[in-house]
Amino acid sequence: MGRVLNRFTGDFINLDSSLAGKFSRFAGAITQTIGIMVAAIFVSPFILICAVVLLLGCMYFGKTFLAAARTVKRLESTNKSPVISYFAASSNGLSTIRAFAKTSDFKNRMFTLIDGYAACTWHTSLLQNWLRIRIAATTSLFAGTVATFVIKKRGIDASLAGFALSFALNFGSKVKEVINVSTLLELDMNATERVFEYRDLKIEDQGGDEVRATWPEVGKVEVMGLELGYAEDLPAILKGLTFTAEGNLGIGVIVRTGAGKDHITVQTRPRNHFTLLQYAALTISGKSTLSLALFRFLAARKGSIKIDGVEVSTIKLYDLRKRLAIIPQDPVLFSGTIRSNLDPFSEFSDYQLREALMRVHLLPTATHTPKPQLQNVSSSSSSTAINTSSTTENKTRFLSLSSPIASSGSNLSHGQRQLLCLARAILSRPKVLILDEATSAVDMATDLLIQRSIREEFANTTLLVIAHRLSTVADFDKILVMSEGREKEFGTPRELLEKEGEEAIFRGMVEMSGEKEESEKMCWSIVISP
């Protein structure tokens, strides 16, 4: 966010005002310099030779200055973005910072960021002084040379001698201005480069076929021979992945240990070689690639993904992403209120919003119709304890739909952000819901709350759950085991546990996990829907 703010403030100010003024100054200085050099021919060719030598010397100093200043200027712009971003985030969460008595911590962090930015500006100033000293010394040497020439040359007219000395002093100042303005102009062109980078970003294709208003009705997901990578010249991450998820089933997606990361050496690739989307994707685990493909963040090289018989690559991007829902590992919340984050398009009543918060245990459930007890996730006593503690912790913050949400939800815990995203999904009632390691970074109590809400509220939804804990998906209808971008096993948990030998990947993962007994109990006790 700070990088975007920097480009839409400082960089655009440079483009709209600073650059134009410097161009005008440069054009005026270079015109006057050329005029003075033409006049010098009528005084003495010797002075013209000295002027050319002066220009060459100043150009050398200017080139040396630019080699260092260009890098320092980029560092200055890079270090400015975190300062802006941190200031904006701190301003939004000021009440929370003061409530938790963390003012000194945030001040120290801000001082550290400002020190980094100030160090860059200080070195920029030092470099400019370095250039000024050398140009001043060179022009002074030129003026002294011309004065010596006037004194030594006998018979020179007094008016001509005065003109020569005036020319020498004026020429030196104009050359100094030309070099200074040209170097500053080139440095400020970095702003143009950064703005053009955003201008030239490749925009996702928004076109496609119209899709029926009720799509998807069942939520059947068919992945056929899917192959894709993060860039055309990078290796494929998914390599011929094929599976079918029938409607209204829960599908757990797990990756064999050691095969979950994309083996790409990012350090060997310059950042600006990729689009921002591709560069961001390089930092995501391979287990997330399937969810990126479902939402068309990555284009398939081969194969297809169909939902209820409609290939997702052929429909409008807006329709695709509006009809599906995802709860990512890092929840996405925006600065605003609980209401604006739950219902950004004002489609639901306050009653519906509160009902959704109750269903994810962010509001007291005393006035809420009791739901059936969850099987195989927690005992009734533990569920009651969790619900009570959750109610006590959250009721104050979530009683008002106008309660503020800081940028990125920084005034909420990670678990609260996950539950808020879950409430948002409950409101949208999608037929296909993807959970991308949604509980890997939360405590066990929050994990149990999320699993309970999922099983209660999405019984008629196709669930694709990319899991971190085996116990999270051990009682799902089917399990998809992936390795090296391919499907290795796909079936019910009981079927996969009954396998033996080297091909029994899921069974081996259960036996090696720290949740063996719990996972096996859940797998053997599950009853598969017909």
Amino acid 515: pLDDT: 65
Residues 128 and 235 in one domain: no
Q: CB of 421 within 8 A of CB of 413?
A: no
Amino acid 138: pLDDT: 84
Name the average pLDDT for the chain: 78
Residues 256 and 219 in one domain: yes
Average pLDDT over residues 114-139: 88
Residues 195 and 221 in one domain: no
Asked whether the predicted pLDDT for residue 468 surpasses 80, the reply is no
Amino acid 312: pLDDT: 92
Amino acid 337: pLDDT: 92
For residue 399, tell me if it sits in a domain: yes
Residues 138 and 67 in one domain: yes
Please name every residue paired with 327 in a beta bridge, in sequence order, or none if there are none. Answer: 435
Peptide bond into 216 cis (omega under 30): yes
Residues 229 and 166 in one domain: no
**Token duo for residue 396:** 């104050």
Instruction: Give the end of a domain, one of 169, 199, 229.
Output: 199
Query: Which tens digits make up the pLDDT trace of 160-179?
Result: 778 777 877 777 778 878 88
Amino acid 516: pLDDT: 63
CATH at residue 105: 1.20.1560.10
For residue 207, tell me if it sits in a domain: no
Q: Mean pLDDT lowest for which of 88-97, 330-339, 378-387?
A: 378-387
For residue 206, tell me if it sits in a domain: no
For residue 204, tell me if it sits in a domain: no
Residues 303 and 356 in one domain: yes
Residues 302 and 233 in one domain: yes
Query: Which tens digits make up the pLDDT trace of 403-441?
Result: 888 877 888 888 788 888 889 999 988 999 998 876 666
Residues 20 and 81 in one domain: yes
**Token duo for residue 247:** 């409607």
DSSP letter at 18 equals I
Instruction: Give the end of a domain, one of 167, 199, 231.
Output: 199
Please name every residue paired with 25 in a beta bridge, in sequence order, or none if there are none. Answer: none
For residue 371, tell me if it sits in a domain: yes
Amino acid 343: pLDDT: 92
Residues 194 and 219 in one domain: no
Instruction: Give SS3 for 268.
Output: helix
Q: Mean pLDDT lowest for which of 98-102, 164-168, 226-230?
A: 164-168
Place of tokens 């209204």: 248
For residue 135, tell me if it sits in a domain: yes
**Token duo for residue 85:** 């971003």
| CA 242 – CA 222 distance, rounded (Å) | 8
For residue 509, tell me if it sits in a domain: yes
Structural domain for 225, as ranges: 212-530
CATH at residue 268: 3.40.50.300
C-alpha distance from residue 63 to each of 179, 182, 412, 433 (Å): 10, 10, 51, 58
Residues 162 and 232 in one domain: no
Instruction: Give SS3 for 347.
Output: coil
Asked whether the predicted pLDDT for residue 285 surpasses 50, the reply is no
Instruction: Give SS3 for 223.
Output: strand
Please name every residue paired with 486 in a beta bridge, in sequence order, or none if there are none. Answer: 483
Query: Which tens digits make up the pLDDT trace of 286-307?
Result: 567 888 889 988 888 899 999 9
Asked whether the predicted pLDDT for residue 527 surpasses 50, the reply is no
Instruction: Give the end of a domain, one of 137, 170, 199.
Output: 199
Question: What is the pTM for the complete model shown?
Answer: 0.61
| CA 236 – CA 240 distance, rounded (Å) | 10
Residues 302 and 440 in one domain: yes
Query: Which tens digits make up the pLDDT trace of 8-58?
Result: 777 777 777 778 888 888 888 888 888 877 776 766 777 778 778 888 888
Asked whether the predicted pLDDT for residue 272 surpasses 50, the reply is no
Q: CB of 528 within 8 A of CB of 492?
A: yes
Residue 113's identity, in one-letter code, is L
Residue 59 or 394, more confident: 59
Residues 142 and 232 in one domain: no
Q: How many domains does the chain have?
A: 2
Query: Which tens digits make up the pLDDT trace of 303-341?
Result: 999 999 999 999 999 999 889 998 887 888 888 999 999
| CA 196 – CA 348 distance, rounded (Å) | 40
Q: How confident is the model at residue 112 (pLDDT cuts 50, 70, 90)?
A: very high
Q: Mean pLDDT lowest for which of 143-147, 240-244, 440-444?
A: 440-444
| CA 297 – CA 280 distance, rounded (Å) | 11
Q: Please, which residues have CB within 8 angstroms of residue 504's CB and are 6 or more apart in sequence? A: 496
For residue 155, tell me if it sits in a domain: yes
Question: Which uninterrupted H or E stretch holds 292?
Answer: helix 289-294
